[in-house]
Amino acid sequence: MTVDDTALHATGIVKRYRRHTVLDGVDLEVRRGEAVALTGENGSGKSTLLRICARVLRPDAGAVRVSGRVGFCPQEPALFDLLTADEHLALFGAAAGLSRDEALRKGHRRLDSLGFHARPGTVVRDLSGGTRQKLNLAVALLAEPDVLLLDEPYQGFDHGTYVDFWDLVAQWRGADRAVVVVTHMLTELWRTDRVVNLKEDT
Amino acid sequence: MKHRWLTVAALQGRDLARRRMVLLVLVGLPLAWYASSAAAGLDYAVGSGTLGVGWCVGATALFTVLGGRSVDPRLVQAGYRPWELLAGRLLMLLGTALVLAAFFAAVMVAGSRPDRPGAVALSIVLIAVVSIGVGLLVAALLPRELEGTLLLIAFVGLQIGIPTAVAQWMPYYGPLRMTDTSLPPANLALLTAHAIACTVVLVLAAGALWYRRVRLTPAAPRRAEMPGRP
């Protein structure tokens, strides 16, 4: 692995919640064009590690280096209940420096690829769980990120969309992006290049 | 894109506008406080309505922040600067507070025909503005709906009975003193300055606490400083 290939490099990550140590010196390195599955039992610190890599959670020790822009899809949809899909696209698009028109164009393309169907003007609160999750994933993809950190992003997806999601992972990897997917779906691990099992590998 | 904080303000405004029950309470609660006191012929009807406006604006600020609790860190991660989110939210709250204040100033001046209508109108505007800071600080200190609401109720309720020596240090002192007809007229400029100073302090304190929650962790040290790297 050359230094330039590394898109995400987390070293010596330690995270404690009070006296409970969730992560104890975890390392994670992901190259461009690599898809990594992050597995582990409940409470093993998968989501915590992903949040630290996304820099929304501060580790007690260790360092994270990311090359390029990061797209982060949290496990629970982090969206405004009373805004519509288009309003979310405009809001997150502005964060990435996109105009409203650009954000809507790109966002609709992402949503179409995920099979998002909702009446225009429907607010998030009125979307089904799976549809909400599709929007949650789409806004993470808006900025064409170099590193994708996805925390069980397929929850609530119907089977067809679930299969499409893994095809999209293959596409993103083919586009030289680094993809980390937290998953419990062991039957899909063959679709990734590498499996990092927290507790076992760390 | 320039002025991303305006995008935040506009979308926060839409979020609030869709909360019909909240809007109803925003208007109904101060109106009920004022109308019930005025109907009973109480001297402090205007003060009661003013306090009602303060509670409602504070609650709006509280729930606006709490509504974005899970989204804010993600928006910062996506590229917003924390100050853009805060500025957008403040702009929306300020607009809401001023519209509400203008409406209630008109209602109370028309309904009670006070000797100093200008002071009454000013007091309502000031309590609406200072309540933004109160609501933001409560949200920053107790970022949970029930606890935050109870704290806000307790805080507003306390304003009625506390002794003047303590009240002078409270954010609502200026606006409530302006509506107090049992005392001789006070210096409006000083009371206005008091309220504005309180607002600034409250917003800065709330902003600092909120920033600690949403800021991104610092970028990693340079490669040579990273552990395990030559």
Beta-carbon separation of B70 and A76 below 8 A? yes
According to DSSP, the residues that pair with A6 across neighbouring strands are A31
Residue B219 in domain: no
pLDDT, position A190 = 87
Which residue, among B2, B3, B4, B7, would best test binding to A if mutated, counting the most A CBs under 10 Å from its CB? B7
Q: Summarize the confidence of residues B50-75 as an average pLDDT.
A: 94
A60 versus B218: the higher-pLDDT residue is A60
B73 versus B185: the higher-pLDDT residue is B73
Residue B225 in domain: no
Range(s) of the domain holding residue B110? 4-214
pLDDT, position B226 = 41
Residue B221 in domain: no
Residue B220 in domain: no
Residue of chain B with shortest Cα separation from A93: B78
Give how far Cα B173 sits from Cα of A187, B33, B48, B150, B163, Å.
65, 19, 14, 21, 11
- Which pLDDT tens digit goes with each residue over B36-61? 999 988 888 999 999 999 999 999 99
pLDDT, position B61 = 96
Residue A186 has pLDDT above 90, yes or no: no
pLDDT, position A150 = 97
pLDDT, position B228 = 40
Q: Does the model's ipTM exceed the 0.85 cut?
A: yes
What tokens were used for A37?
């599955």
Residue A123 in contact with partner chain B when CB distance is under 8 A: yes
**CATH classification code of A1-68+146-156+176-202:** 3.40.50.300
Judged by DSSP in three states, A16 sits in strand
Whole-number Å distance between alpha carbons of A11 and B128:
49
pLDDT, position B2 = 67
Residue B116 in contact with partner chain A when CB distance is under 8 A: no
Alpha helices for B40-113 (secondary structure H): 45-67, 72-78, 82-112
Band (pLDDT 50/70/90 cuts) for residue B164 is: confident
Min Cα–Cα distance to chain B from A55, Å: 5
Chain A, window 52-91: residues with a beta carbon less than 8 angstroms from a chain B beta carbon: 52, 54-59, 62-66, 70, 72, 74, 76, 78-83, 87, 90-91
Name the phi and psi angles at B36, rounded to 5: -65, -40
Residue B222 in domain: no
Q: What angle do CA B10, B11, B16 make, to 5 degrees?
A: 100
Residue B200 has pLDDT above 50, yes or no: yes
B214 versus A201: the higher-pLDDT residue is B214
Residue B128 in domain: yes
What tokens were used for B123?
């007091």
Q: Summarize the confidence of residues A124-134 as an average pLDDT.
A: 95
Residue A153 in contact with partner chain B when CB distance is under 8 A: no
Other beta carbons within 10 Å of B118: 12
Chain A residues inside the 8 Å CB shell of B67 = 80-81
Beta-carbon separation of B227 and A90 below 8 A? no
Chain A residues inside the 8 Å CB shell of B228 = 11-12, 27
Residue of chain B with shortest Cα separation from A140: B78
Band (pLDDT 50/70/90 cuts) for residue A200 is: low
Residue A167 in contact with partner chain B when CB distance is under 8 A: no
Give how far Cα A168 sits from Cα of A47, A100, A113, B90, B110, Å.
21, 25, 8, 39, 64
Whole-number Å distance between alpha carbons of B151 and B169:
18
What is this structure's pTM? Answer: 0.89
Residue of chain A with shortest Cα separation from B12: A83
pLDDT, position B220 = 53
With CA atoms as reference, report the closest residue to B219 among A194, A135, A55.
A55
- Which pLDDT tens digit goes with each residue over A93-120? 999 999 999 999 999 999 999 999 889 8
Length of chain A: 202
pLDDT, position A49 = 96
Domain count, chain B: 1
Domain edges within chain A: 1-68+146-156+176-202
